[in-house]
A = this chain, B = another copy of it.
């Protein structure tokens, strides 16, 4: 892909380009990002790149060390536990806020996600079902009508995306069922039920994920 033909500032495009490749795993954890390489590949000068890097760092996608450049963040087991704790709290908040404001249009959107996941499941496409489930979460977040919350969660989810890919297929049917329960609670405006279902949903994926990752992750720093 050549950058420069579309809209927005180059810095933003570089940011998005790198973020996508980190989330997708193409730039694997630990990979060093060498400025010259990226500038050459994207055909941009160092200025927009060096504006993109601090953003990526602020969002936790890379770590930079003085005079040693940037590398893709390598999550430790502890990092992931921290992520789960925070995500748990914020997903619960999102569910609570969504249930407090069960807007019909947003509800219809959630329904779409659920039926998409279910039909993908029927067709045997676990991949599509997982994607629909990710979209469901994002929609709940949007439905919370708290832009700050949504903005905070985005990079957290991005950082966990590869983890989702590793582990989400595990119990995708369970996830779909939980989503349907959560949807019903939100639709009915049952704030406390939505909160506890959201909590259970996130918490439920925790131990299995951590167990799966225990041996592939680096030790804590």
Contact = CB atoms under 8 A, between A and B. Distances in A.
Interface of A: 8-9, 11, 47, 50-55, 57-60, 66, 79, 82-83, 85-86, 88-90, 92-93, 97, 146-149, 152, 156
A146 B50 contact: no
Contact of A59 (B53, B58, B89): B58
Copies of this protein chain in the complex: 2
Determine which residue in A50, A52, A66, A89 has the highest number of CB atoms from chain B within 10 A of its CB, and name it.
A89
A58 B86 CA distance: 18
Contacts of A8: 66
5 contacts: A51-B51, A85-B148, A86-B90, A86-B152, A148-B156
A85 B100 CA distance: 13
A135 B57 CA distance: 26
B93 A86 contact: yes
Nearest to A67: B9
A82 B149 contact: yes
Contact of A148 (B47, B50, B82): B82
A47 B85 CA distance: 37
A149 B85 contact: yes
B58 A85 contact: no
Contacts of A147: 82
A203 to B, nearest CB: 13
A85 B89 contact: no
Contacts of A83: 148
Given A66-B8, A90-B86, A52 B54 contact: yes
Contact of A51 (B50, B92, B156): B50
A19 B67 CA distance: 23
A148 B93 contact: no
A19 to B, nearest CB: 12
A147 to B, nearest CB: 6
Given A47-B47, A79-B148, A11 B54 contact: yes
Q: List the 7 closest pairs (A to B, CB-CB), nearest first.
A: A58-B58, A82-B148, A89-B93, A54-B55, A82-B146, A89-B89, A54-B54
A189 to B, nearest CB: 17
